[in-house]
Amino acid sequence: MDEVSRSVETIHVQCCVVGGGPAGMMLGYLLGRAGIKTVVLEKHADFFRDFRGDTVHPSTMTVMQELGVLQDFLKVPHDEVSKLNALFGTASIRLADLTRLDTPCPFIAFMPQWDFLNFIDSQGRRFPQLEVRKKAEAVELVRDADSVTGVVAKTEQGPLRISADLTVACDGRHSLMRAQAGMEVRDIGAPMDVLWFRVSKPANAGESVFARIQSGQMMVMLDRNDYWQCAYVIAKNGYEKVKEAGLDNFRSNIVRLAPLTREHMADVKSWDDVKLLSVQIDRLAKWAKPGFLCIGDAAHAMSPVGGVGVNLAIQDAVAAANLLYDKFGGGGPSLDDLNRVQARREFPVRATQAIQVFVQNRLINRAITDRQFSPPLVMRLVGSSPWLQGLTARAIGIGIRPEHVHTPEAKRTG
């Protein structure tokens, strides 16, 4: 037993953040910046994951400005899209015009999420109270009676035991930490799934079209400079039916929907090049227990509708840091303190999910099942009114109850 005990590394921090996604990295950054001793655990060796949201919205770039890092952030390679257009057959409708927003960056930045996370990681290295541990997978919550007091993580060097005043689960929609904490998840439902693949981009691709809807099909195309990252929408649990029709049929459907993919559609050589992303919308009944808090996807899984999941996660992190940074002096935030995070963020989450469900049921589900589908009146009205395009831009780009940074930057000593 003594030999085993000596092989376990033990550290104490004020806050242990589980998961190095947008919520986890931003929360770690803000708390470390405020002088709170924080460790972020990321189970992978890097942030490179192909199935992560690429959209950085104006609300997030406002946070970057408030942190004083916006100019450096905009030097990271990205594409800027200020107008979102959807193609219904041959009819183009402008869904949102972000140039109408009064923000530092009135556009959506399309940036691979690994670059976004690497940027936050590199910026956070200047804060001595913040440590980001990669290849450190949290596998077990540690409890003392009813309170969570830390985690046990698996590392290449052996077990790591972390004692923490607060443990925050940011480990995604399939969060192991929230499962071990016994959090109640309420499933909201989603009538669709997404097939995720890439096609090389021709040099003369022309103006970017965000979404294409035609003859019972729908696809979103994300411009990643030299290739399109494509999200082809299918009915829930409909992947096997698509596969049964054959790969050639799938490729032909994509080309009919988006003719500019014709030249490079052979990039999809087999079904191994097509990944199924199961869409889900859910949220926790309660986000917190003593010593434990969930934010981001661990608290509320969002639909890809609007591409707002990453930005809601960032907003959660900003709100949590604002509400909790000054609560670590006496052994960590109380349960009442943690519940204030949910009280602050639950309305934006509920309202956004309600909008997503409406769009899924009234638009997307019809678009992928009705071969004669035409844009509904509300979309035609938005397309004909620049003022309404400004409202949709605000809903997508800024969201409901945007958060602003109120945490201080701790003075360095020595």
Q: What SS3 class is residue 147?
A: strand
Domain with 271, as residue range(s), is 192-278
Give the whole-angstrom CA distance, residue 361 versus residue 192.
9
Give the whole-angstrom CA distance, residue 357 versus residue 353.
6
First to last CA, the chain: 41
Judge whether 68 lies within some domain.
yes
The vertex-117 CA angle with 116 and 122, nearest 5°, equals 100
Residue 334: predicted pLDDT: 95
Q: What SS3 class is residue 409?
A: coil
Judge whether 344 lies within some domain.
yes
Q: How many domains does the chain have?
A: 2
Question: Are 149 and 56 found together in one domain?
Answer: yes
Question: Are 250 and 324 found together in one domain?
Answer: no
Question: Are 325 and 242 found together in one domain?
Answer: no
The answer to whether the CB of 300 falls within 8 A of the CB of 284 is: yes
17-54: b (≥16 Cβ within 10 Å) or e? bbbbbbbbbbbbbbbbbbbbbbbbbbbeeebeeeebbb
Give CA torsion, residues 194, 254, 110, 383, to 10 deg: -100
Question: Are 205 and 320 found together in one domain?
Answer: no
Question: Are 56 and 31 found together in one domain?
Answer: yes
Question: Are 257 and 125 found together in one domain?
Answer: no
CB count in 10 Å sphere of residue 366: 17
Show the tokens assigned to 299.
Answer: 């608290």
Q: What's 120's domain CATH number?
A: 3.50.50.60
Judge whether 366 lies within some domain.
no
Judge whether 218 lies within some domain.
yes
Give the whole-angstrom CA distance, residue 142 versus residue 12.
13
Question: Are 142 and 272 found together in one domain?
Answer: no
Give the whole-angstrom CA distance, residue 10 versus residue 12.
7
Judge whether 132 lies within some domain.
yes
CA-nearest of 63, 77, 8, 71 to 30 is 63
Q: Find tokens 């589908």 and name the residue.
A: 373
Judge whether 53 lies within some domain.
yes
Q: How many CA atoms lie within 13 A of 255 on its CB side?
A: 13
Judge whether 398 lies within some domain.
no
Residue 126: predicted pLDDT: 94
Q: How far is CA 212 from CA 87, 231, 240, 248, 253, in A?
A: 5, 10, 23, 20, 12
Judge whether 86 lies within some domain.
no
Q: What SS3 class is residue 374?
A: coil
End of a domain among 261, 278, 295? Answer: 278
Question: Are 261 and 173 found together in one domain?
Answer: no
End of a domain among 251, 278, 305? Answer: 278
Show the tokens assigned to 144.
Answer: 């003392």
End of a domain among 278, 309, 340? Answer: 278
Residue 333: predicted pLDDT: 95
Helix and strand element counts for the chain (H, E): 13, 21
The answer to whether the CB of 381 falls within 8 A of the CB of 69 is: no
Dihedral over Cα of 45, 47, 48, 50: its sign: positive
Give the whole-angstrom CA distance, residue 173 versus residue 191.
17
The vertex-287 CA angle with 193 and 276, nearest 5°, equals 15
Sequential DSSP letters for 240-251: HHHHHT-HHHHH
Question: Are 250 and 154 found together in one domain?
Answer: no
The vertex-314 CA angle with 308 and 315, nearest 5°, equals 85
Show the tokens assigned to 154.
Answer: 């698996």
Show the tokens assigned to 286.
Answer: 């309660």
Per-residue pLDDT of the chain (414 residues; tens, 9 = 90+): 344 444 778 999 999 999 999 999 999 999 999 999 999 999 988 877 655 567 899 999 999 999 999 999 999 988 888 888 887 777 788 889 999 999 999 999 888 888 999 999 999 999 999 999 999 999 999 999 899 999 999 998 899 999 999 999 999 888 999 999 999 999 887 778 889 888 888 776 655 657 788 777 888 887 777 788 888 888 888 899 999 999 999 999 898 888 888 888 988 999 999 988 888 889 999 999 999 999 999 999 888 777 788 899 999 999 999 999 999 987 889 999 999 999 999 999 999 999 888 888 777 777 777 777 677 788 889 888 999 999 999 998 999 899 999 999 987 654
Question: Are 249 and 213 found together in one domain?
Answer: yes
The residues facing 374 across adjacent strands are none
Question: Are 152 and 261 found together in one domain?
Answer: no
Question: Are 170 and 309 found together in one domain?
Answer: yes
The vertex-257 CA angle with 265 and 255, nearest 5°, equals 25
Residue 204: predicted pLDDT: 67
Show the tokens assigned to 25.
Answer: 């990295």
